[in-house]
Structure 1
Amino acid sequence: MTEIPSVSPKELDVLRALERLEKCIIDEIVKDVRLKDKSEAAAIIAKLETKGLVKVKKLEEKYVILDEEGVKYCQEGLPERKILKVLYERKEIPIKDLKGLVDMDNKILSPAIGWVLRKGWAKMEKKGEDKVLIITELGEKAINSLGKDEKLLLKIKERGSIPIESIDKKLLKDLSSRKNVIKIVSKPKIIVEITELGKDVLKSSEIEVGALTPEMLRTGSWRSVKFRRYGLEGYVGMVYAGRIHPMTYIIRKIRRIFLEMGFKEIRGDFVTSAFWNMDVLFVPQDHPARDLQDTYYLKEPFTLEIDSELASIIKEVHENGGKTGSIGWKYSWDPKVAEKALLRSHTTAVTIKYLAEHPDEVPLRAFIIGRVFRREAIDATHLSEFTQVDGIIVEEKANLRMLIGVLKEFYRRLGFKDVRVRPSYFPYTEPSLEIFVKFKGRWLELGGAGIFRPEVTEPLGIKGRVLAWGLGLERLVALILGLDDIRKIYVPEISWLRMSPIRPLSYASYASEDNW
């Protein structure tokens, strides 16, 4: 005969609920038994499953949620709805005039016209050389009522998600054919069912007591109850400790490394002029980095005032080299181009302005960690807003050997034992270097460095040679965390943050190959 296992009062309550509900999901158990949350219910069910009192089936259900365009369409309406509103007022519109009336990109306009025709809201006729869109009787009626697809989108927005089985197949196919309107996701579904042994337990109703209470001691009732044994095989919910974001952690570590190496931190504004962002750094005004597709220029303020005396010196340097011994770039420098306001595209714009304002501060060791902005096409290796680090050393006898030595020490403290450099080119440094570190058996480029050119330092009256280097932090974080896409660093998923490996020790142990 099978031994009847004992159960706790809450386990008994769950078994009674399962007997009433038969097969059910965890949410129903939480509601029926009035448990604290699903985690508590899952822990009790796991114990009951271990004792053979319940059966658990893990299934997956598919749900439909809104994608980016779906959220937009819920707010602004479907593209064909915009066409219908204009068509309702005018009754007929030549296709060539439609774009100007609805303010819609061709990639959206063409499919939208197709949907208007497909839904029977309009018909297409040729009048002379023009194709004309003419509203139909169905279109007249549709102006004041939402279609099935529009109602479904609003329903999904209201509920967050809808089971895929509850949606008409044709309607689902139509919405799926539109790009980025809906997404189909899978959600786990756990079905719990009481076993025959569980029913036998309900008949015997032998209750286990989990803890000895003062009342039991006072009355002596502890002698007649059965105490629950300690068990290590039951389910225990995961407990997550609080932690900071990996980017914040690494920024703090890099700041500490700089401070330990005798550097001081400087800061500056996001908004600056092209003068400080490029011209002072001897970047010619026809350089590709200045193009609208690469730099965020501002409408307000459109320009920022620059020092006229310094501007005249920079003008000479660009045109003929001035007093630097250089021949310059041999073009006519325009102060109006230099006055344009923009979002800084690198943190060097801040460091060079600081040097210009403190030309006599020699020796100097300074660094900046800050956000920069570039009009990049966002993909796995590029962001339009990212974090950059700049380090500079100003000394009269600074040289390339000193720069390489400091670089190796800096990256060693980051956790990279093997560092090497190779010649490169940057407009405002000469010589220029690319920095490579060995990580998991591969050499990876992780920053640039160099010595500021005389065309940069001499016009500003800087007394000393300037060693400089920098790196993008997102690439470093992605490297350490093993991410193949830097966009994942900023995905707002608490589960990713909980599972990211944060070391409480030094950054060196955090980045060490032994830990990865």
Structure 2
Amino acid sequence: MAELTLNEKRLLAALSKEKKANAVNLACFLNATPEAVVQWAHLAEDKELAKVERIVEKEFEYTEEGKTYLQNGLPETQILKIVKPGTTLADLQGHPAFKIGFGQLRKKGLIRVAGSLVTKNENKSTQAEELALKNPVSGEQNTKDLIKRGILVESETVRYIISITPKGTALVNQGIDFKEEIGTLTRDQILSGAWKTANLRKYDVKKLPKTIYPGKSHPYQRLIEEMRQILLEMGFTEMHGEIVQSAFWNFDALFQPQDHPAREMQDTFYLKEEASLPKGWECLRDMHEHGGNTSSTGWGGKWNPGKAQQCVLRTHTTSLSIQYLATHPEPPVKAFCIGRVYRREAIDPTHTPEFEQLEGIVMDKNVTFRHLLGFLKEFYQRMGFSDVRFRPGFFPYTEPSVEPEIWVDGLGWVEMGGAGVFRQEVTDPWGVKCPVLAWGLGVSRVAMLRLGLKDLRQLYQSDLEWIRRSPVHAPAQTGRKA
């Protein structure tokens, strides 16, 4: 029989009377914390003297919004109640719950809208949702939907039930010695030799200690910092800029025509604010309309200054590159930016409406397309991707253009972004006379490959267990095997 600590003995003595008890109640009786009692119980369980049951219970709380709906009914229920034969949209729009309720009814297929007329779909109701609101059940789909809508908040409570085994009962009946144990020797005990006869606590040197998780930054943030450090070591300067940009800098300055599909509402987040045009904007107008002072013919048509003044959430960090060049038109220039960009994307495992992009530019005399390929290859190899290749691409503001790809075992060649040499139509309005190499690379895609993730959304979640398991350094598992 393995040696018992004094605390294990005290626990078994208490359990011999109760047979089974809650850890909280035992903690009060033993004048200890519940956490300490559970730890002692696990030690006794290892010796088959006690049994520990971990019971997880789900609890639900109503948000302020949820409390209102509990009293008045869900918004869709409130709207559905007033839908009668002949009801029109105008009849419903004055109801306080219309905005949320009407959208939910259409989403769930509970109503039909024909012109301005609104009718109920037969055999459809919100009864199941109302039942979930009044009696939420963990794991039930309607309950999950209510949590997602911010109506309910789910929480977990964990309690431990500790019981004594027949083996533990037999040991207690034989009699337990409650002589005090010494866990730490004092200086006087060592000098006097009292330690020789002391009742020393037994330690199992083979038993693993409790895991301690050190503080560390998020794996995604560590990768971003690694990229930043690589570019700084390669001699680049970091540039910064605002998230809100004018369409002038986000689109027009990059020689993107004003009727380009990427500028439509379905791809871009437009804001109600407007920004004034920078000094010298007329040169850009001329470039779009007829090519300015270059050999280009431009896009033709009439360039609209009003459209260029619209504000957007930047769709790429290339808008910062052209602004940097406008204020630094003389060579040499080596600059980069790692920043968040925004696009109207449906959320799925490989797409989110906001993500990080790595932007870089190099401007100097006599730099060529081959230098661009060299910069990109060097960057990816420093990131741990040994096999890099390039294939031709097309972008409105670079020519020639290229798309870098890296090899990942199990996936093959993976496209990582776009790059090229800025067209003269982009650089000429700002007095830039030297070639400009430019690239925009997907940061989150690199992170997924380095961290071995299948779902992009995990990069933005506060999953403590995943963060704890993630090593501080995760080298890329890439490169074709010989």
TM-score in terms of structure 2 length: 0.82
Does 1:313 pair with 2:286? no
Q: Which moved more, 1:98-107 or 1:234-243?
A: 98-107
Q: 1:323 to 1:130 in 2, by over 3 A?
A: closer
Task: Show CA shifts across 1:356-377 (max 9, x none).
Answer: 11212x0111111111122222
Q: Which moved more, 1:452-461 or 1:439-448?
A: 439-448
Number of the residue aligned with 2:393: 424
- 1:216 Cα deviation from its structure 2 partner: 5.8
Number of the residue aligned with 2:5: 8
Task: Show CA shifts across 1:107-165 (max 9, x none).
Answer: 423699979xxxxxxxxxxxxx9979xxxxxxxxxxxxxx9865556xxxxxxxx889x
Number of the residue aligned with 1:44: 40
Q: 1:483 to 1:83 in 2, by over 3 A?
A: closer
Does 1:368 pair with 2:337? yes
- Would the aligned equivalents of 1:421 and 1:436 in 2 still touch at CA under 8 Å? yes
Task: Specify which of 463, 475, 481 is matched with residue 510 of structure 1.
Answer: 475
Report the Cα distance in structure 1 between the residues aligned to 2:217 and 2:144, rounded to whole angstroms: 38
Q: Name the Cα RMSD after superposition.
A: 3.7
- Would the aligned equivalents of 1:80 and 1:113 in 2 still touch at CA under 8 Å? no
Task: Specify which of 30, 33, 57 is matched with residue 30 of structure 2.
Answer: 33
SS at match of 1:392: strand
SS at match of 1:280: helix
Number of the residue aligned with 2:127: none
Q: 1:21 to 1:342 in 2, by over 3 A?
A: farther
Does 1:304 pair with 2:275? yes
1:510 partner amino acid: P
Q: 1:210 to 1:493 in 2, by over 3 A?
A: farther
Task: Specify which of 66, 70, 82 is matched with residue 74 of structure 1.
Answer: 66
1:256-405 matched pairs, under 5 angstroms:
256-299=229-272, 302-307=273-278, 310-360=280-330, 362-405=331-374
1:75-154 matched pairs, under 5 angstroms:
77=69, 80-82=73-75, 95-97=87-89, 98-102=91-95, 103-104=98-99, 106-109=102-105, 152=135
1:209 partner amino acid: E
1:15 partner amino acid: L
- 1:235 Cα deviation from its structure 2 partner: 5.8
Does 1:408 pair with 2:404? no
Report the Cα distance in structure 2 between the residues aligned to 1:428 and 1:114, rounded to whole angstroms: 48
Number of the residue aligned with 2:123: none
Does 1:446 pair with 2:411? no
- Would the aligned equivalents of 1:209 and 1:228 in 2 still touch at CA under 8 Å? yes
Does 1:483 pair with 2:457? no
Task: Show CA shifts across 1:445-490 (max 9, x none).
Answer: 1121100011101111112100011212111111111111111111
Task: Specify which of 16, 29, 34 is matched with residue 19 of structure 1.
Answer: 16
Q: 1:333 to 1:480 in 2, by over 3 A?
A: same
- Would the aligned equivalents of 2:213 and 2:468 in 1 still touch at CA under 8 Å? yes
- Would the aligned equivalents of 2:409 and 2:477 in 1 still touch at CA under 8 Å? no
- Would the aligned equivalents of 1:276 and 1:352 in 2 still touch at CA under 8 Å? yes
2:201 partner amino acid: R
Q: 1:56 to 1:46 in 2, by over 3 A?
A: same
Q: 1:439 to 1:231 in 2, by over 3 A?
A: same
- Would the aligned equivalents of 1:391 and 1:468 in 2 still touch at CA under 8 Å? yes
SS at match of 1:330: coil
Q: 1:43 to 1:401 in 2, by over 3 A?
A: same
Q: 1:232 to 1:435 in 2, by over 3 A?
A: same
- Would the aligned equivalents of 1:11 and 1:48 in 2 still touch at CA under 8 Å? yes
- Would the aligned equivalents of 1:26 and 1:190 in 2 still touch at CA under 8 Å? yes
Q: 1:425 to 1:201 in 2, by over 3 A?
A: same
- 1:8 Cα deviation from its structure 2 partner: 1.9
- 1:64 Cα deviation from its structure 2 partner: 5.4
Number of the residue aligned with 1:471: 441
- 1:201 Cα deviation from its structure 2 partner: 3.9
Q: 1:20 to 1:451 in 2, by over 3 A?
A: farther
- 1:52 Cα deviation from its structure 2 partner: 2.5
SS at match of 1:450: strand
- Would the aligned equivalents of 1:273 and 1:304 in 2 still touch at CA under 8 Å? yes
Report the Cα distance in structure 2 between the residues aligned to 1:95 and 1:479, rounded to whole angstroms: 54
2:295 partner amino acid: G
Question: Greater share of helix residues, 1 or 2?
Answer: 1
Task: Show CA shifts across 1:377-409 (max 9, x none).
Answer: 222111222111111100121111111111111
TM-score in terms of structure 1 length: 0.77
SS at match of 2:458: helix
Question: Aligned residues: percent identity?
Answer: 35
| Residue ranges of structure 2 left out of the alignment (5+ in a row) | 112-116, 121-129
Task: Show CA shifts across 1:15-53 (max 9, x none).
Answer: 233334422454544454343453x44432232122232
